[in-house]
Chain A
């Protein structure tokens, strides 16, 4: 493995998260669209997905989306400002700070949904 630094890992992670999201999105849309076939079918599907495996999968996708979104903003700053490139490393760390700040509450709530169940 080439020993690249922050930029390289930011790129790989952005790419991997992008692929994962588009794959999930395709499934997700198909799934929701299946509502066309009526509530029975749809509710059955939702029931099936109550399995925590799916719940965790969803959490993972949400985590990837959050990274992709924040790093996407980092990329945009680098592309359109004169200082973004100079501060790219700091920006990447900032991405992780914001990631934790936004991500932790979200993670907490979502995990509770998965494991604690509804009231």
Chain B
């Protein structure tokens, strides 16, 4: 089938502002949008810039806005879009560097702010720390996160308010706060409870819809809110 791929192009070395460019392509229904981008890059215009690595939704490189929704290009099949006009734009709320490449630094800054590592100063036992399957299941969802930023850059609050940590960082915090081995919840609290923290979330659910790993992001955010609230009052 023939599809039209419209890409929001921007080359800071040449363009004053981003502009749309269209490409007519021959595509199979089972093609990934990533395949289409490659087709453009390899056969039509080598200057196109975008990130990719694994090609099957596991590395988190290629979150972009496809037909108005954040998705991974490598996990979105042409047939699933149900149209032959496909628009691709960079994810929002992070500075665009070139074409579909954005500056990820602010995103990782928020990640680091919630201390995303196991905090437990007690000397570990000889063997593994024990944890029941039930305790393990409580924080399972958050461990799936691939830090693709699809959620954070779909959040209407994040687009306008750069101080908001964003859903991804809160998912990371959840992963540790609810880990029975972690003792550092109170260390994460200042970042999570500040003006840019969880209370900024307005439960818009774009994050949950966008997450390619099908993590119930809003649910986790709400659990963090409740954890802080009940821990505090």
Chain A interfacial positions (CB closer than 8 Å to B): 1-8, 10-12, 14-15, 75, 78-80, 84-86, 88
Contacts and interface: CB of A to CB of B under 8 A. Distances in A.
B184 interface: no
Interface in B200-233: 202-206, 208-209, 216, 218-219, 222, 225-226
A75 B203 contact: yes
Nearest to B153: A2
Contacts of B208: 7
B92 interface: yes
A78 B203 contact: yes
B172 interface: no
Contacts of B226: 79-80
Question: Ordered nearest first, which 7 A-B pairs have the shortest CB separation?
Answer: A7-B205, A3-B68, A11-B204, A85-B219, A4-B206, A8-B204, A11-B202
A101 to B, nearest CB: 24
A72 to B, nearest CB: 11
Nearest to B210: A4
Interface of B: 65, 67-69, 92, 154, 156, 202-206, 208-209, 216, 218-219, 222, 225-226
Contacts of A84: 222
Given A3-B68, A4-B205, 10 more contacts: A2-B68, A4-B156, A4-B206, A8-B204, A8-B205, A15-B202, A75-B203, A80-B226, A85-B218, A86-B216
A85 B154 contact: no
Contacts of B225: 79
A7 B219 contact: no
B146 to A, nearest CB: 21
A84 B225 CA distance: 14
Interface centre among A1, A2, A10, A12 (most CB of B within 10 A): A2
B206 A7 contact: yes
Contact of A5 (B67, B209, B216): B209
B216 A1 contact: no
Contacts of A6: 205
A85 B141 CA distance: 15
Interface centre among A8, A75, A78, A84 (most CB of B within 10 A): A8
Contacts of B92: 2
